[in-house]
Structure 1
Amino acid sequence: MKSTQGLEPRPIPQEAFDWYDEYAHGLIDRRTFMARLASLASLGLSMSVLTSALLPNYAQAEQVSFNDPAIKATYENFISPQGHAECQGYLASPTNVDGKTHAVLVIHENRGLNPYIKDVARRLAKAGFVAFAPDALHPLGGYPGNDDEGKSMQASMDKAKLENDFIAAAKFLKDHESTTSKLGAVGFCYGGYIVNMLAASIPDQLDAAAPFYGSPPAEELRANVKGPLMLHFAGLDTRINDTWPEYEKVLKANGADYVAHIYQGVNHGFHNDSTGRYAEEQAELAWSRTLGFFEKHLR
C-alpha cells in the first residue's frame, strides 16, 4: 500500500465553483449540479470532498458569538406598507456605546437570513454600529434552516414587494430610537443588488452603500445614483463583472462618488466564510475597507 502522507489534497477545479454559482443562482437545478460534480470523479475527487468544499457549513461562519458581551442581538418587527406588511429582522447593537450610534443595513443573499449574514451583523455591532439584517422570508415563516429550501422560498416571492420590504427596513433602521440619522448598507450577491437598488431608489436617505458582487439597479433608476458607494467584485465572477462597465459609465455620467475594488483570482461569494469560495486574505481586505468606508461617511 502506498503512503499518502505528505501528499497535497487535489485542488477543486474552477468549473466546480462555476457550477456552484449557477446552482446557487437558480440557473441549474440540484440534480444537474450533483451530476456535474460526479463527472469529476476521474480526477480523484470524491463527492464528499466536493460537497464539503462547495456547500455551506455555517458552523465555520461564526466570528462573533451571539453571547459576546460586547453586543446585544434581538429580533424586531417592522411594517412594509408597499411590501409584505409585517416583516422581521435581526438587530445587533453594541453594548459599550452610550446614546445613539450610526446604523448599517445588512442584506442577505437569495436564500433568506442565514447564520453567515447574522454573523456579519454581529461583526458590525462589534465594530460599534447598530446593524439590522431583515429576513425576506419572514412572511413565509422565516429562513427554514437550509439554503436549498430558502432559495426556493425566496424565488417564489414577488420581486417588487421584496424590494419595498428592504426600502421599509432602511426607513425602520434610520428612524430607530438607537440610531442617528446616518445610514449605511452592505449586501452580498442578491443583497449586493439590493444595496445598488437602494442607492438608486432612496439616494437622499442612504449615506454609504457597499455592495459585494451585486448586479446594478434597474436601468430606469440608475440616473438617480450619486453615492457614496464602495463596490466589491470577485475577479473570477464573470456573470456579475460583465454588468460593471455599463453601470460604471452611468455612475461617471452622474458624477457619483464611488470606488470599485476587483479582487483577482477569487470567486463570487469570496467573503462568505462558510464555503470553499472563501478567500481569507481578500475577504479581510474587503471588510476592512468597508468598515473604513462606513467610518468615513457615517461617523
Structure 2
Amino acid sequence: MSLHTEWIQFEQDGVRHRLYAARLARAKGPLPTVIVIQELWGTDAHILDLTERFAKAGYLAVAPDLFAENGERRDVLSEERIEEIKSFLDTLAPPSWHDPAAREAALEQQPAAIRERVRETFPELFASLTKLPELLETVKATVSFLSAYEWSKGQKVASVGYCMGGAMSTMLAAALPQLAGAVNYYGRMPLSKEEVAAIQCPVIGFFGEKDPKITSLVPEFAEAMEAAGKTFIYKVYEEAHHGFFNDSRGAYHVQASRDAWERTLNFFNKVLS
C-alpha cells in the first residue's frame, strides 16, 4: 500500500507552522481528515506511524509539530534530545520521573554530557504540560490550513490525541464547533461547564484502569457531558496503564490497543462520512 508522505510548512496569522501529512498515493480529490495530536514526546516515530496508519485507512492524516516555533525546533527540544530523555526515563520507574532526588541519583550514573543535556531538556519538555492552551493554537491553525488545503478542502475534520494530545483533542472539540469528532486516549479532561457546553461533536475516550490520576476524572466528565446533552462514550481497559496504545513503550497493552483501534476507526467512519 503506497503512501504519499511529506513535511509541510504553512503560515497562519504571520506565524509559520510545521506538520507531517500522509495520504494514500492513489487517493483522488480531497479527503476527510484526521488530526493526530502528539504525546509529550512530540511528533516522534510512533506519532508518524499512527499518522500513516490513519492514512492507510483512507484519510488525509496530519500531525502538527507542537514543539516547532516559527516552523523549527529549538535545539533543547530537538528530536534527538527528546529521544535521549526517553532512554534515560526508561531506566527509572515512572513514579520517579518527577522525584528530583531519585532522578538526580540516576543521572549521576550517566556520562557527564548526557547529564547536562537531560538537566536542560527535562524541565523544558515537561513544562509543555502546563501550556496546553498555547499549544492548542497550533492545532487550531492546522484546522484553518486544512480548510483551504487541496487535499482536505470542503471535507470534515476530526481529531485524535494521545496523553497530553488526548486532552487537547477534547479541548479542540470545545474550541471549534465545526469539528466532526474528537478521540481522547488517556488525556485529562479539565473542562469547565462553559467549555463542555461549547462542544458540538461526539467525543470518545479510551483509558487504562491502572492510570488512576487520569481515569478517576472520567466519570465526572461523563456526567457533565450527559447533563449538557452531549455525546461522550468511553471505555476503561482492565490491567492497562497510561500510554497503553504506544507500541514503542513499556506500557503497551496489545488487547486494549486492538480494541481501541477498532473502535476509533468505527468512530471516524461514522463522524467523517
SS where residue 132 of structure 1 aligns?
A: strand
Q: Aligned equivalents of 1:217 and 1:171: distance in 2? A: 25
| Cα separation, partners in 2 of 1:99 and 1:169, compared to 1, 3 Å | same
AA aligned opposite 1:97: A
Deviations 1:148-203, CA, capped at 9 Å, x for gaps = 2676444456543212111111222243210142011100000000001001111x
What pairs with 1:1-299 in structure 2 (closer than 5 Å)? 69-81=1-13, 85-139=15-69, 140-141=73-74, 143-145=78-80, 146-147=82-83, 148=85, 152-156=123-127, 158-179=131-152, 180-202=154-176, 204-219=177-192, 220-299=194-273
Q: Which residue identity is paired with 2:191?
A: A
Q: Which structure has the larger Rg over C-alpha atoms? A: 1
CA RMSD in angstroms comes to 1.9
Give CA deviations for 1:184-232 in whole Å, capped at 9, x if unaligned: 1100000000001001111x21101111011114314222123211111
Contact kept in structure 1, 2:35 and 2:158, CA below 8 Å: yes
- Secondary structure in 1 aligned to 2:58? coil
Task: Give the conservation status (yes or no) of the 8 Å contact 1:188–1:213.
Answer: yes
Q: Distance in 2 between matches of 1:103 and 1:151?
A: 33
Identity of aligned residues (%): 30
Question: Matches of 1:174 and 1:135 in 2, distance apart?
Answer: 18
Moved more, 162-171 or 98-107: 162-171
User: Where does the alignment leave 5 or more consecutive residues of structure 1 unmatched?
Assistant: 1-68
CA contact (8 A) 2:24 2:55 kept: yes
TM-score (structure 1 length as normaliser): 0.71
Secondary structure, aligned partner of 1:104: strand
1:112 touches 1:151 (CA, 8 Å); kept in 2?
no
Asked if the contact 2:36/2:159 (under 8 Å) is kept, the reply is: yes
Report the TM-score when normalising by structure 2. 0.78
For 1:71, the aligned partner's letter is L
The number of residues matched between the two structures is 228
Give the distance between the partners of 1:151 and 1:260, measured in 2 at CA: 32
Distance 1:217 1:70 in 2: 40
Of residues 228-237 and 218-227 in structure 1, the stretch that sits farther from structure 2 once superposed is 218-227
